[in-house]
Amino acid sequence: MNYTDKKISDKRAIAILAKNGIQVDDEEAVIILEFLYLVSKNLSKNKEEKNVGILKEKSNFRKSS
């Protein structure tokens, strides 16, 4: 996976994890970041789908004449 808009570098991820007592190397940090970006991407899709559902419900709402 290649995310062009990554906001966290691999080195930064290693530092953040180390502060919390988790020791990882560069390869493991890349895997963790890819997983988190994938989860974030899917969460965004779910929120968009939910919003579309709400809009559809409202658009079919009984209109007064």
* Sequence-distant (≥ 6) Cβ neighbours of residue 29 within 8 angstroms: 10, 11, 13, 14, 17
24 — pLDDT class (breaks 50, 70, 90): very high
Residues 10, 26: contact at Cβ < 8 Å? yes
* pTM exceeding 0.75: no
pLDDT tops 70 at residue 53: no
Q: Go through the chain and tell me how many residues it has.
A: 65
Per-residue pLDDT at 32:
94
Domain count, the chain: 1
The two three-digit tokens of residue 21, written as one number:
């007592």
Q: Is residue 14 part of a domain?
A: yes
Q: What residues make up the domain containing 18?
A: 10-59
Q: Is residue 4 part of a domain?
A: no
Per-residue pLDDT at 40:
85
